[in-house]
Structure 1
Amino acid sequence: MGCYRQRSQTTPKMGKMWWCVVACVMVCGGMVEGQVNRCFKGEGPATLSPHFPRNVEKFGLNLFREVSQVVQKDGRSVFVSPYSIWSALVLAYLGSDGETKKQMETAMFFPSKTVAYMNWNALKFVLEGNPHKTSNTVDLNMANWAYFNQSLNLNRCLYDSLFELQRIDFTNPRAAQAAINKDVSDVTRGLIPELLPILPASTRFVIVNAIYFKGKWKVPFSPTETRKQQFLGLERGSSSIVDVMVQKAGLFKHGYSQSLDANIIELPYQDTNISMFVMLPANHLTTQIILDNLNQQTFSEAYRSMANKSIHLVFPRFGLSTTLTAELKDVLYNAGIQDLLNPWRGNLTAFTVDRTPLYVDEVIHKATVEVTEEGTVAAASTGLINTRFGGPPPIEFIVTRPFVFLITDKHTGITLFAGNVMSGKDLKPVTGNPVV
């Protein structure tokens, strides 16, 4: 398999922290600035931007919206991790040059590699180090790798500075596939057991992100209240019977978004900033208006309008999985990331000393979620491949028709996972209690 470096999964444990404090810890501690300035000469100083998390969320929600629009044409529900896709693209961006680099900077709101690298590391520091690891009620783990064929002459500065860069022998494709899939499976606790199919021996690199989340509800549902109920479909005959969980008068943050024409509820997880936000169309059955208008600004405005209210909540107990390949590639292309996917114009030459022509010809994203009375388990992985809450009566929030849901870290404003449920037929029964 050649030389293989195991990326450490240990991360600092942190409470709430302002973005500027992260900057001091990282820069003054010499964690990032030295590597950035040395490897990305001519890119300007490595500065921490307070706008960076907002731009990540902007890109992520735009991507989720576009993916949902594409997938729902086939009447399918979708579940993705915008953050996973974004993270894999960041790693590719660090090796980009020319027009490929310019297109990625425009689409992903990056001013330079130095700023992107600095803020990417700060974001990982906050997300992984936050209260997530201080309690067994929540677990958030993620990893990134860029596996390069051992025959490539990698840029030594990048290889020495980015532990995500690995050497692997793709001429033994089954062994390479098994090693990469095992790394992903380990991070996702077996929820994504096989990201990659068999790779050709001509594979030159595979850039991968994997993310895993397990959280227990701050206000769990009682299993004795779970029952069967009809989930309304968009078309005649498309309704189905699903398992639903019930909170008869729970205290939740709730609000109405005029921009999205949707009622919104926050379902927080224990001991963390992460919550699930469920958006239920207010005056219609389809989620189309939500998807048409969902972005970082409308979501932020909706959150600010929410207040604690007594809620009678009915919510599905479900599992949902999605695999994206060509659909995701089309969405990235339409977002302006075009040359990266073009065999003649793709430019990832900064990864190698001899500026070997490299581009992405295959994209794959797998994501899965299980929602039960105890909480939520979710995982996703992305691959970029070159083979070439007494008072008034409780408000009813009955989620037995199409809905959109986001699993978001409120501290950074980053959406980690997102789903658009079109049909109860897409919701699989969940056996056992995976959150426990």
Structure 2
Amino acid sequence: MKKALALILVFALSAIAMSSCAVSGDISRYGVVDYMKNITPAQQTPETLDSTFRDAYADFALRLYGEVKKEKNTLISPLSVMLALAMTANGADGATLEGMEKALGGIKIDKLNAYLKSYVDSLPSGDSFKMSIANSIWFRKDAFEPSEDFLQKVCDFYSPDIYGAPFDSSTVNAINSWVNGKTDGMIKKMLEEIDYESVMFLINAICFDCKWESKFNPTDTQKNALFRGSEGTVSCDLMTSKENTYIKGEGVTGFIKKYRGGKYAFAAFLPDDSSITPDEWLAGMSGDRLVSLLESSTNGRLLCRMPKFGYEYACNMNDALKTLGMEEAFDSHNARFSSLGKNIRDGSNVCIGKVTHKTFIKLDEEGTKAAAATMVDMTAESAEMPPEIQIILDRPFAYAIIDTETNLPIFIGTVNTID
């Protein structure tokens, strides 16, 4: 029988105290405008991270994983998806908001904002264990006017960078540069092009780079070992270590291996029945049962072997999120995002066009590097594309090479014939 190893890396994040939602880095060369430099976040009362939040988050993680498209290897960050959607939900109203709250675990948005901020504030980052979070919001400055109340609320709880941008190729470069920087180069490109209908992007990025508390000894790594995977037996480098935290129950056997500082850990789950795939096992689990399984781990004398691995993953989350209950948010006619702002181009309704999610992981003897990015694309679906104007220089024409700051010609000439 083929065996597979179910690997779960729980993405978390750290928070940096900010007195204002200032823009990070020099991004002015992309023609964007900082819309947050004059907004100061209001002081928030910490929210106790009780079982309501824990169970809702864990259940969201398992339900979301169960709905995403499965490739050879799958990796999602439920935290990244939740943060991007929670920001977006602060601009939703009525049944649209109710559907998003249902999808995100059933917690009202004001309470979820407080929970997520407290969760962020509770998670550390250090010299040998990096966990960082970044949020940003980009809007088409000639077509969409964000609500001041919306900007204040997301600043209070999510500390995003917010930019007004031309939504041309320079904005594509700016967004990709922002994501690349916030993920330490692990996710280099989030966007290929911007559709005419797109009026706002809400983006989360998470970067994880941690060393093992007890590293694998490279001399113990077995080269050309066999891994009996879903597509047949392949060779791999199998690392070896002695561990002491044992997982047993819910039809799996596994272990927990800590990163430096002890705040973060890697948990591995191997189905006891080799005919059951890891995806099938996860599909049968609930959030509270997964948390209970991890909490019930015991001390043991373990010899663990695990392959070095690394891969990238990307998916469109639309269908998964609709199944979780937020269908109306994607409906161009019925979605209600009036609290987000207003479409000043033509007044047409705004909805979520697509939710894109990308992840990266590399695990070896030294530790683990991983990243995630989630982008919510808000679109004005009924906006009509302006008619294309064709300009074909197939007869004599004048031209100039100009200085774009002053629009003065440095060269000026004509073409009357082609030699």
Q: CA deviation at 1:332?
A: 0.8
**Counterpart residue type for residue 140 of structure 1:** M
CA separation of 1:66/1:176 partners in 2, compared to 1, >3 Å: closer, same or farther?
same
Pair 1:241 & 2:235 matched: yes
SS in 1 for 2:176: helix
Which residue of 1 is the match for residue 354 of structure 2?
362
**Counterpart residue type for residue 34 of structure 2:** Y
Contact 1:323/1:367 (8 A) holds in 2 = yes
Which residue of 2 is the match for residue 308 of structure 1?
299
Q: Which stretches in structure 1 are left out of the alignment for 5+ residues?
A: 8-25, 34-45, 389-436
The equivalent position to 2:154 in structure 1, one of 117, 137, 162, is 162
Cα distance between partner residues in 1 of 2:300 and 2:199: 55
The equivalent position to 1:373 in structure 2, one of 358, 365, 369, is 365
The equivalent position to 1:204 in structure 2, one of 182, 189, 199, is 199
**Counterpart residue type for residue 346 of structure 1:** A
Q: CA deviation at 1:356?
A: 6.3
The equivalent position to 1:383 in structure 2, one of 375, 381, 385, is 375
Contact 2:141/2:165 (8 A) holds in 1 = yes
* 1:118-157 mapped onto 2 (5 Å cutoff): 118-127=114-123, 130=124, 132-133=125-126, 136-151=127-142, 152-157=144-149
Which residue of 1 is the match for residue 87 of structure 2?
91
Q: CA deviation at 1:243?
A: 1.4
* 1:16-415 mapped onto 2 (5 Å cutoff): 31-32=43-44, 50=50, 51-67=52-68, 70-71=69-70, 76-127=72-123, 130=124, 132-133=125-126, 136-151=127-142, 152-163=144-155, 164=160, 166-171=162-167, 173-226=168-221, 227-234=223-230, 238-247=232-241, 250-257=242-249, 259=250, 261-285=251-275, 286-325=277-316, 328-352=317-341, 357-388=349-380
SS in 1 for 2:75: strand
Contact 2:247/2:256 (8 A) holds in 1 = no
Deviations 1:46-78 (A, max 9, x none): 9656222331222112211322xx415xxx211
CA separation of 1:329/1:353 partners in 2, compared to 1, >3 Å: closer, same or farther?
closer
Deviations 1:116-136 (A, max 9, x none): 222221122112xx2x23xx2
Deviations 1:202-236 (A, max 9, x none): 4201111100001111121011112221110346x
Deviations 1:263-321 (A, max 9, x none): 02101111042111100011214224422222222212212331121211110111021
CA separation of 1:231/1:346 partners in 2, compared to 1, >3 Å: closer, same or farther?
same
Cα distance between partner residues in 2 of 1:111 and 1:316: 39
CA separation of 1:306/1:111 partners in 2, compared to 1, >3 Å: closer, same or farther?
closer
Deviations 1:241-272 (A, max 9, x none): 1111112xx13211211x3x110210111104
Contact 1:220/1:375 (8 A) holds in 2 = yes
What TM-score results when the alignment is normalised by the length of structure 2?
Answer: 0.75
SS in 1 for 2:310: strand
Q: CA deviation at 1:6?
A: 7.3
Which residue of 2 is the match for residue 4 of structure 1?
34
Cα distance between partner residues in 2 of 1:362 and 1:288: 25
Cα distance between partner residues in 2 of 1:2 and 1:368: 28
Which residue of 2 is the match for residue 39 of structure 1?
none
Cα distance between partner residues in 2 of 1:165 and 1:96: 20
Larger radius of gyration: 2
Cα distance between partner residues in 2 of 1:386 and 1:353: 12
Contact 1:340/1:359 (8 A) holds in 2 = yes
Cα distance between partner residues in 1 of 2:315 and 2:190: 11
More strand by share: 2
What TM-score results when the alignment is normalised by the length of structure 1?
Answer: 0.72
Identity, % of aligned pairs?
21
SS in 1 for 2:244: strand
More helix by share: 1
Cα distance between partner residues in 2 of 1:111 and 1:137: 34
